Chain A
Amino acid sequence: MSVIAHADRIQAPPGAAVRRRKSFLRRRSTVAFFMALPLILIVALLVLYPASYAVYLSTLNKTMERFVGFGNFLFLFKRDSFWMVVEQSVIFAVTAVLFKAVIGLVVAHFVHNLPAKGQRKWRGMLLVPWVIPPAMSTLAWLWLFDPSYSAFNWIFAHFGIDPVPWLGNPYWARFAVILVNVWVGAPFFMIMYLAALKSVPDQLYEAAEIDGANWFQKLWYVTLPMMRNIISITVLFSLIVTFANFDIVRVLTNGGPLDQTQVFATWAFRLGIESNDIPLGASVSLFMFPVLAFAAIFILRDINRRGNEA
């Protein structure tokens, strides 16, 4: 501490400290912090505490009596079944997010170009798959894909088409879980992209038109750059959520056939809860955390930089 600062403190009249405290409490950032405090406490209690506890659990041995450090992760790295789950989770998440993004973009364009009068109804209807709890809608899908009584196969039979082993064949089963995930998640992309589309100034399209741009050039040079931040955030958010997906796989295939649709969350549940190996289950569920955190830091930094440039 400098001599001058020290002197200030000594010489400051008693009212100055009160004034400083008042001005601190009146600052916008202080008010904002206090207003956000309940939420911060809830997040700390419901997210940070369980996450830290999961990290702690992942460092214990099977009977949870001994600290093993990274032992559980090293054990997992040697298991073929774990790498199979990693591969399937990546296929599941990347494919599903890609399709959700493309379908969301296309549908958002359609809705955006609808006359304003009926647009709200379409928006409402298109959001239905996203609004229904996935465990419930997946049950309906299960009846459509049921191994023995599939409604799709029943329709196929009327056209003389052989039944499709939707959930009995590993490739069809993967297709089914991805399809349901896309069906549930695409409306979220649609609504986010629709909001982004509505914020693109019409003048930009008019200028592009004067320059003789066709529809693809307008999309490529105007729409997509203007939506870049929203696309990044939506893809990042969806990737995290899809990597952590549990309900769709659990209800539809339970990881089968032959574990060919297991993803991190279902495999973690099987090892941790059903097989009574909570530390190993915690390790499986935490495996993607550093990867996704790393991706999140880069994507958010990129968004921030573009925001500053703007």
Chain B
Amino acid sequence: MTSAKFDRRRFLATTAGLGLAPYVHTSRAAGTLNIGFWDHWVPGANAVLTKLCHEWAKKEKVDIQIDYITSQGNKLMLTIASEAQAKAGHDILSMPTWWVTAQERHLESMDDIMSRLIEENGDVVDVVKYLGRQDGRWLAVPATPGSQTKPPCGRIDIFRKAAGLDITKMYPGHGEPDKALTDHWTWDEFANAAQRCQKAGFPFGLGLGQTTDSTDWVGAMFSAFGADIVDAQGNITVRSDAVKQVLEYAKRLASFLPPDVTAWDDASNNKWLISGKGSLIMNPPSAWAVAKRDAPKIARELWTFSGPKGPKGRFVAGLPFYWGVWNFSRNKPAAKSLITFLSQRPQVEKLVEGSGGYDIPGFSGLRDFKVWAEEGPPKGTIYNYPPRGDTIVSIAAAPAPTAIANQIYTQATMPKMVARYAFAGDSLDRTLAWAEDELEGMMRT
């Protein structure tokens, strides 16, 4: 027997169904959509995104207004903060790493879109979930433009001569990594290679400053040693054996780095590699791309490959970008429709190609595009830029609750711990006490 009664359950089911229904329009029914996208640094990448948006807008008969907002001078961050304060602004806004969970109260749930996209594109990696979801609710959709990882980028010739390691054989430009070689590619071996390259006059360029490049590689190293300084429950765990072990290791590694790394910013490592002074940095392929233009001889010797393995695994830093929709947006259905369109495979492939392989999609099923194998010279140089093999993508300070991890990350607590212990002459105990005090200050709610 079926009931015709329109009860509460039926009402909820119907309205939920409406929410998931494809975006339906009448002529210009959806009005205007204001979008704030991250201003891509790769020339031409914005044009691809603009073209795709107009393609969608024409089909859906929506007027769109796109602003490309640079992250230079933290303009994107300031835009997010001010729009959240004013509760007005764009309908869709690009948000980097920590900004999604920080704006949790102001963001529209994306559960409906994400369940559909995960079904189509495969699951997302843990770091994308960690930064994009809160209490099981998706707050934003991982965006292709701007999402990056920071694996090592090394000099093929110097590694061969000085470190006796063929990085192109270990992580070839096609197929799977060489298991025998990658098994030996550990943080200990990394320090040995750093020592040999330094002796040869080409030290590794790993910053210990207060900007993201420094935090990212140090974070990957801490993760590889299982050295969480705050655990997932928010307890300070800075005095663990793993943290002591990673600091002892970092002190040894730091002795092979250039003496001024505590003053490095995000441009310093790129310059170090492009100038020919260094043998390895940890960065997206921007250094290689600039070298291709300004120092082609060096670019031909650059190879991106996965990071070394530690006791807890092989970690590489990943910084996903997201597209969020404000809960005060005036055009949520259109916003969700556009985000869904841009997150589908054909569009994602065009975006990745437009960025020359710089962008890494958040979905696991979208990492098989040809562009990474074809880019060069040398051909296949960024094939291993999307994480392959046993590589785990992580972000510094995870798995701490994001409100605490955000502060650990932006205040560069981990690089400062290494710099204090390795360069400033602090004892291990003093370094840990300093970190403990800093972390206590980050616990406020």
The residues of A with any CB-CB pair to B shorter than 8 Å are: 61-63, 75, 79-81, 146-149, 165-168, 173, 253-259, 269-270, 273-278, 280
Neighbouring B residues of A280 by C-beta, 8 Å: 444
B123 to chain A, nearest CB (A): 28
**Interface flag for B40 (CB, 8 Å):** no
The CA of A256 and the CA of B81, in the complex, are separated in Å by 24
Q: Determine if B77 and A274 form an interchain contact, defined as CB atoms under 8 angstroms apart.
A: yes
- Among listed B20-28, B41-49, B256-264, interface-contacting one: B256-264
Neighbouring A residues of B209 by C-beta, 8 Å: 254, 256-257
Neighbouring B residues of A80 by C-beta, 8 Å: 437
Q: Determine if A165 and B259 form an interchain contact, defined as CB atoms under 8 angstroms apart.
A: yes
Q: Determine if B416 and A259 form an interchain contact, defined as CB atoms under 8 angstroms apart.
A: yes
Neighbouring B residues of A167 by C-beta, 8 Å: 260, 263
**Interface flag for B29 (CB, 8 Å):** no
Q: Determine if B263 and A253 form an interchain contact, defined as CB atoms under 8 angstroms apart.
A: yes
Q: Determine if B410 and A275 form an interchain contact, defined as CB atoms under 8 angstroms apart.
A: yes
Q: From A76, which residue of chain B is reached at the shortest CB distance? A: B441
The CA of A280 and the CA of B441, in the complex, are separated in Å by 11
Neighbouring A residues of B445 by C-beta, 8 Å: 61-63
Q: From A165, which residue of chain B is reached at the shortest CB distance? A: B260
Neighbouring B residues of A257 by C-beta, 8 Å: 209-210, 262-263, 419
Residue in A256, A269, A276, A277 whose beta carbon sits within 8 Å of that of B262 in the complex = A256
Q: Determine if A254 and B211 form an interchain contact, defined as CB atoms under 8 angstroms apart.
A: yes
The CA of A273 and the CA of B103, in the complex, are separated in Å by 12
Q: Determine if B262 and A270 form an interchain contact, defined as CB atoms under 8 angstroms apart.
A: no
Q: Determine if A148 and B437 form an interchain contact, defined as CB atoms under 8 angstroms apart.
A: no
A-B contact pairs, 23 of them (CB 8 A): A61-B445, A62-B444, A79-B441, A147-B258, A147-B264, A147-B268, A148-B260, A166-B263, A167-B260, A167-B263, A254-B209, A256-B262, A258-B262, A258-B419, A259-B416, A273-B74, A274-B410, A274-B411, A275-B407, A275-B411, A276-B99, A276-B403, A276-B407
Q: Determine if A276 and B98 form an interchain contact, defined as CB atoms under 8 angstroms apart.
A: yes
The 3 closest A-B pairs by CB, nearest first: A147-B260, A168-B263, A167-B263
Q: Determine if B444 and A148 form an interchain contact, defined as CB atoms under 8 angstroms apart.
A: no
Q: Determine if A149 and B271 form an interchain contact, defined as CB atoms under 8 angstroms apart.
A: yes
The CA of A278 and the CA of B406, in the complex, are separated in Å by 13
Neighbouring B residues of A256 by C-beta, 8 Å: 209-210, 262-263
Given contacts A62-B444, A257-B419, contact A168 B260 (CB under 8 A): yes
Q: From B205, which residue of chain A is reached at the shortest CB distance? A: A148
The CA of A75 and the CA of B442, in the complex, are separated in Å by 11
Residue in B210, B268, B403, B441 whose beta carbon sits within 8 Å of that of A148 in the complex = B268
**Interface flag for B420 (CB, 8 Å):** yes
Neighbouring A residues of B420 by C-beta, 8 Å: 258
The CA of A148 and the CA of B441, in the complex, are separated in Å by 34
**Interface flag for B438 (CB, 8 Å):** yes
The CA of A256 and the CA of B261, in the complex, are separated in Å by 11
The CA of A26 and the CA of B264, in the complex, are separated in Å by 64
The CA of A253 and the CA of B444, in the complex, are separated in Å by 28
Q: Determine if A168 and B259 form an interchain contact, defined as CB atoms under 8 angstroms apart.
A: yes
Q: Determine if A148 and B271 form an interchain contact, defined as CB atoms under 8 angstroms apart.
A: yes
Q: Determine if B210 and A273 form an interchain contact, defined as CB atoms under 8 angstroms apart.
A: no
The CA of A147 and the CA of B264, in the complex, are separated in Å by 7
A33 to chain B, nearest CB (A): 32
The CA of A156 and the CA of B441, in the complex, are separated in Å by 43
**Interface flag for B200 (CB, 8 Å):** no
Neighbouring B residues of A168 by C-beta, 8 Å: 259-263
Residue in A253, A258, A274 whose beta carbon sits within 8 Å of that of B416 in the complex = A258
**Which among A149, A167, A168, A273 has the greatest number of chain B C-beta atoms within 10 A?**
A168
**Interface flag for B277 (CB, 8 Å):** yes
**Interface flag for B265 (CB, 8 Å):** yes
The CA of A166 and the CA of B211, in the complex, are separated in Å by 18
The CA of A256 and the CA of B105, in the complex, are separated in Å by 33
Q: From A167, which residue of chain B is reached at the shortest CB distance? A: B263
Neighbouring A residues of B410 by C-beta, 8 Å: 270, 274-275
Neighbouring A residues of B98 by C-beta, 8 Å: 276
The CA of A148 and the CA of B265, in the complex, are separated in Å by 11
Q: Determine if A81 and B441 form an interchain contact, defined as CB atoms under 8 angstroms apart.
A: yes
B139 to chain A, nearest CB (A): 14
**Interface flag for B358 (CB, 8 Å):** no
A119 to chain B, nearest CB (A): 38
Residues of chain B from 129 to 169 with CB closer than 8 A to chain A in the complex: none
Given contacts A273-B74, A276-B102, contact A258 B260 (CB under 8 A): no
B105 to chain A, nearest CB (A): 8
Q: Determine if A75 and B444 form an interchain contact, defined as CB atoms under 8 angstroms apart.
A: yes
For the A-B complex with A148-B275, A254-B265 known, give 16 more contacts whose Cβ atoms are closer than 8 Å: A147-B260, A147-B264, A149-B271, A166-B263, A168-B259, A254-B209, A256-B210, A256-B262, A258-B262, A259-B210, A259-B416, A269-B74, A276-B406, A276-B407, A278-B85, A280-B444
The CA of A125 and the CA of B419, in the complex, are separated in Å by 42
A156 to chain B, nearest CB (A): 14
The CA of A274 and the CA of B77, in the complex, are separated in Å by 8
A122 to chain B, nearest CB (A): 34
Residues of chain B from 412 to 445 with CB closer than 8 A to chain A in the complex: 416, 419-420, 424, 437-438, 441, 444-445
B151 to chain A, nearest CB (A): 22
Q: Determine if A275 and B406 form an interchain contact, defined as CB atoms under 8 angstroms apart.
A: yes
